[in-house]
Structure 1
Amino acid sequence: MPGTPLTRSFIDELDHDIHTSITDTTEVFAPFTGEKIHDLPVSAVDDVTDAATKARAAQKRWFATGFEHRRRVLLRAHDLLLERRELLIDALQTETGKTRGQAFEEVFIGASATRYYAVSAKSVLRPRARRAGIPLVIRTQVSYRPKGLVGVITPWNYPLSLSLFDVIPALAAGNGVVQKADNQGALSILAARRAFIDAGVPAELWAVVTGDGTEIGNAVVDAANYVCFTGSTATGKKVAARGAEALTAVSLELGGKNPMIVLDDVDPRTAAQNAVYACYASLGQLCVSIERIYVQRSVADAFTREFVARTAALVQGPAFDFSTDVGSLTLPSQLERVQAHVDDAVAKGATVLTGGSARPDLGPLFFEPTVLTDVTDEMDCSRNETFGPVVAITVVDSADQAIAAANDSEFGLNASVFSGSISRARRVAHLIDAGSININEGYRATFSSVDAPMGGMKQSGLGRRNGREGILRFVDARTVANATGLMTLPRTGAEFAKLSGVMILMLVALKAIRRR
């Protein structure tokens, strides 16, 4: 089958949208087949500097247009994303190797985030009165000003949705953007960006650069007033350190080793059916994908039996339609990592209940969805993120033991609790160290809730995307206060002597009436 349904002319058009002044290129290959998709133009450091300069100039004009104009443009872009969904899905499948259904999820959530920020930016960022230190005597207001230029560094696994989670609130708040696209996800990003440009976003306001991750990524950090990074914890720490040199704030969504707890009051069959998707969507190449399952003993046999059967029955293959359940890994390095984790676990005593092998008969980067048991701490897959279709099931005797095991990790990005009682599941969720916790779902309950913040604890990140928090990171809060003239504040010793008693009485009275 062909490596992509995208036409050569369309790919060439998108390549021309990359901000570059050099002729260097790098080859990009289709995960499904290993065929070359295109020779991707790459950028130089000077291109990042030039893009930043032009984006800053465009940002001043964009901010001046006001919230209503930005709202109209972003809502038009939302409509264009939906109109062009098949093309966007084709691009996502071509570059990532995920199924059509999971590519559709990216477009759906990206459009949801676009609509959300288009309609909510004004209400979140409008100036608001705040309680003054001396009521009636002082009047205080807080307003917001955009940071200016936002740097966005995006990974290859969810290039469209993770881009829009960061780029759109930045634009809605009145900022410009320079985005470093991963080489493997550039077409998907550029295709989505084209919808926004056609809707009225100035082309120079949102620049896309490509190239070496360290060199070009560092240039983006250096050029920006705020940086969003999604990727590994190790690289995220380097981004944070570089930003700190210039006091540039960052938000980081980093690695995870996400746990699921299956309590003893579940219907094992239903829980297993839902858990399978949480583990193997995008073949596990999702920052919030489940890699560890802790199941209480009384339901462990039934749950595991159904989970393994469901996993083994998944339809895997390369298809640009909805005929498959799971697709391919994206990069050769991912295949090597997954195989190494499985081989290491088996060599040290783990049991493979299903899967465990590559599928070269399907394509160069296919690996079977894999279920392991008897996983111990000395195995690489126990604590390190696999980022692939490998899940370990561990039997526990109590909910407390499951919670302790779930929290015994340096990561804290996503978690899941399955229970027949929502109230019981919420009590357990309250005790889990993770930024997002799903009940009777793996990740989609929180991932799709664009009005709620998303981010990690511990080594899984800093800051939050989505919700009010997701747009407030792109602005500086400013306080403006004025004296009303009702009373002149004391300036001399004599005036303090006269008014200090009155001011103390005011504090006592405010406490008595429980005023802030």
Structure 2
Amino acid sequence: MSEQTSIPADPELDPTASYATDQAVIRRLSGLLRATAGTRTSYAPATGQPIADLPVSSEDDVIAAVRLARKTQESWRRVPLAERAAILLRYHDLVLDHRHELVDLIIRESGKARKQAFEELAHVALTARYYGRKAYELLEPQRKLGIFPVLTRAEQRFVPKGVVGVISPWNYPLTMAISDALPAILAGNTVVHKPDSQTPLTALRGIELLYEAGLPRDAWLAVNGDGPTVGGALIQNVDYICFTGSTKTGRLVAKQCGERLIGCSLELGGKNPMLVLRDADVNRAAEGAIRACFANAGQLCVSMERLYVADQVYDAFVTAFVDRVKKIRLSAGTGWDVDMGSLISKAQLETVTRHVEDARTQGATVLAGGKPRPDIGPLFYEPTVLSGVTPAMECFDNETFGPVVSIYRFSDESEAIQRANEGEYGLNASVWTRDGRRGRAVAAQLMAGTVNVNEGYGATFGSIDTPMGGMRSSGLGRRQGVEGIRRYVEPQAIATQRLIPIAASHGISDEKFADLMTGALRVLKKIGRP
């Protein structure tokens, strides 16, 4: 018998779950897809039951969608910024009003626990409100310093890219689909979106609510299908690509975008480290590590897969952490009492199983978990803690993207920082200490795009005013904050010269002009002008 607690799956426990299985709803959402190339059946990962036969898009469907979005963008970009912002603020309320049905769809398509599904909904609402409130600050023209005071008026404007292609993943099917594209829409672009073919209904319901909030229907269009066909056609026709997925696929996306000289933002893989320092609150750190390692069954780009724990607290932390791991409640149910749900696919289950068995065979110790749980559902795997993991093992520096974490002891903080920075990735990190100032000092030495002190991922993930993205092989560009919207615009400089040209004139020779310019530059420096 497994140490983990399992909860029987009973849809009757949650009456709102019927929304996710309502065939009329599914047909309505499927009808939003621009797709004429047959159908493909999607399945609920937690149970293996079919969800829907979904239309599949062809290359011609993608091209037609981009053409329509491009035509729509000509008028959408002229809609006053205040009206575009108002749509996002109305959307904020609609998402909260429809939280039960959205969460049901997320659970149905992804298999995750309800509490993690709600995180997605909250993140979408936070993003919509942030960009709706910050629209003028982020997008209104800005005055800049001209070459000469008074004589030169300089300003910067923000011109929308045009049609933005969004390729979103299955692991967070609502927020990774919607939150990345909201700033693109606000900036005056239109969107052609390819949600992952395993989880399209959640994204489609999110888009449908945007229509209800007032977005023109042709400003955000959706296509469906595999990456090479549909994703490839998208990259070849849009003006910018936003992609979230694996590093391997991200390299291909970047190459294709480079060939067309279009921009892209890529959030890719991670092998994220968590450091528990010698003065950490052991129980708080252990509780935080549960969320950081096993939210969405570890299928989270910013989840922790490496724990580095100081000698002084190692034994106490391991005891507290493993004890909590063994109490994690697994279930295919939809209630709030579920702690961890299913993996998404057979491929993910195979990767997790392979990593654990490889480590076990080569001498690693399984402190908790370590087994699939077909008694709960076809794709369940126990939350697993390993010790004694060495560089020879596959899970040492390869992303598992599942409920598996390796734990290591350290005696010197500089050594722990060095080990945390090893490898090709640099997406997220976590530091635990009773001293916030010390934690921030350690955080500043970690090569990761986001670092959370006394949290796993939620502090940066939920702070929409801060940028989020990866260093090194973990990606390009950033979502959230000013960086999250400026990626979708072309900065344009407009300068107006008054009274005199920036050249020799009025009978002054070029040599004399050079002398005058030299003197002017010295004066400007002396008075402190940048």
Q: Normalized against structure 1, the TM-score is what?
A: 0.98
Q: Which residue does 1:471 correspond to in 2? A: 485
> Does the Cα contact within 8 Å between 1:335 and 1:365 map onto a contact in 2?
yes
Deviation of 1:165 (Å): 2.4
Which letter maps to 2:27? D
Find runs of 4+ consecutive structure 1 residues off by over 4 angstroms. Answer: 1-4, 491-494
Deviation of 1:433 (Å): 0.3
Q: How far apart, CA to CA, are the structure 2 residues paired with 1:493 and 1:384?
A: 70
For 1:405-420, list aligned pairs within 5 A: 405-420=419-434
Counterpart pick for 2:339 among 293, 309, 325: 325
DSSP-derived class of the 2:180 partner: helix
Q: How far apart, CA to CA, are the structure 1 residues paired with 2:246 and 2:89?
A: 32
Deviation of 1:134 (Å): 2.3
Deviation of 1:140 (Å): 1.0
Q: How far apart, CA to CA, are the structure 2 residues paired with 1:487 and 1:450?
A: 44
Q: Which residue does 2:30 correspond to in 1? A: 15
Q: Which residue does 2:495 correspond to in 1? A: 481
Q: Which residue does 1:103 correspond to in 2? A: 117
Q: Once the two structures are superposed, what CA deviation does each residue of 1:129-176 show, in whole Å capped at 9, x if it has no partner?
A: 111122222211111110000000011001111122211000000100
DSSP-derived class of the 1:478 partner: strand
Q: How far apart, CA to CA, are the structure 2 residues paired with 1:475 and 1:371?
A: 44
Counterpart pick for 2:149 among 112, 120, 135: 135
Q: Which residue does 1:239 correspond to in 2? A: 253
Q: Once the two structures are superposed, what CA deviation does each residue of 1:416-452 show, in whole Å capped at 9, x if it has no partner?
A: 0001111111111111000000000000000111111
Counterpart pick for 2:184 among 166, 170, 185: 170
Aligned residues: 515
Supply the RMSD in Å over aligned alpha carbons: 1.3
Q: How far apart, CA to CA, are the structure 2 residues paired with 1:349 and 1:487?
A: 76
Where in structure 1 are there 5+ consecutive unaligned residues? none
Counterpart pick for 1:300 among 310, 314, 325: 314
498-507 vs 110-119, which deviates more?
Answer: 498-507
Query: Percent same amino acid at aligned positions?
Result: 45
Q: Once the two structures are superposed, what CA deviation does each residue of 1:57-99 show, in whole Å capped at 9, x if it has no partner?
A: 1111111111011111121111111111100000000011111
Q: How far apart, CA to CA, are the structure 1 residues paired with 2:124 and 2:502?
A: 53
Q: Which residue does 1:64 correspond to in 2? A: 78
For 1:153-232, list aligned pairs within 5 A: 153-232=167-246
Q: How far apart, CA to CA, are the structure 1 residues paired with 2:444 and 2:45?
A: 40
> Does the Cα contact within 8 Å between 1:113 and 1:164 map onto a contact in 2?
no
> Does the Cα contact within 8 Å between 1:78 and 1:111 map onto a contact in 2?
yes
> Does the Cα contact within 8 Å between 1:262 and 1:294 map onto a contact in 2?
yes
Q: Which residue does 2:90 correspond to in 1? A: 76
Q: How far apart, CA to CA, are the structure 1 residues paired with 2:357 and 2:448?
A: 29
> Does the Cα contact within 8 Å between 1:291 and 1:390 map onto a contact in 2?
yes
Deviation of 1:353 (Å): 0.3
> Does the Cα contact within 8 Å between 2:178 and 2:207 map onto a contact in 1?
no
DSSP-derived class of the 1:485 partner: coil
Q: How far apart, CA to CA, are the structure 2 residues paired with 1:163 and 1:113?
A: 12
Q: Which residue does 2:166 correspond to in 1? A: 152
104-113 vs 65-74, which deviates more?
Answer: 65-74
Which letter maps to 2:120? E
Deviation of 1:495 (Å): 2.8
Q: How far apart, CA to CA, are the structure 2 residues paired with 1:378 and 1:247?
A: 40
> Are 2:391 and 1:377 equivalent residues in the alignment?
yes
Counterpart pick for 2:381 among 367, 373, 381: 367
Where in structure 2 are there 5+ consecutive unaligned residues? 1-8, 12-16
Which letter maps to 2:242? C
Deviation of 1:46 (Å): 0.3
For 1:378-397, list aligned pairs within 5 A: 378-397=392-411
DSSP-derived class of the 1:183 partner: coil
> Does the Cα contact within 8 Å between 2:160 and 2:488 map onto a contact in 1?
yes
Q: Once the two structures are superposed, what CA deviation does each residue of 1:210-256 show, in whole Å capped at 9, x if it has no partner?
A: 11111110111111101000000010000010111110111000000
> Are 2:449 and 1:449 equivalent residues in the alignment?
no
> Does the Cα contact within 8 Å between 1:147 and 1:476 map onto a contact in 2?
yes
Q: Which residue does 1:515 correspond to in 2? A: 529
- Could you say if the C-alpha distance between residues 350 and 226 of structure 1 is closer, same or farther in structure 2, counting changes exceeding 3 Å? same
> Does the Cα contact within 8 Å between 1:150 and 1:170 map onto a contact in 2?
yes
Q: How far apart, CA to CA, are the structure 2 residues paired with 1:247 and 1:56?
A: 18
> Does the Cα contact within 8 Å between 1:153 and 1:217 map onto a contact in 2?
yes
Q: How far apart, CA to CA, are the structure 2 residues paired with 1:145 and 1:464?
A: 19
Q: How far apart, CA to CA, are the structure 2 residues paired with 1:493 and 1:21?
A: 70
> Are 2:299 and 1:285 equivalent residues in the alignment?
yes
Which letter maps to 1:87? E
Q: Which residue does 2:6 correspond to in 1? A: none
Which letter maps to 2:455? E
Which letter maps to 1:472? R
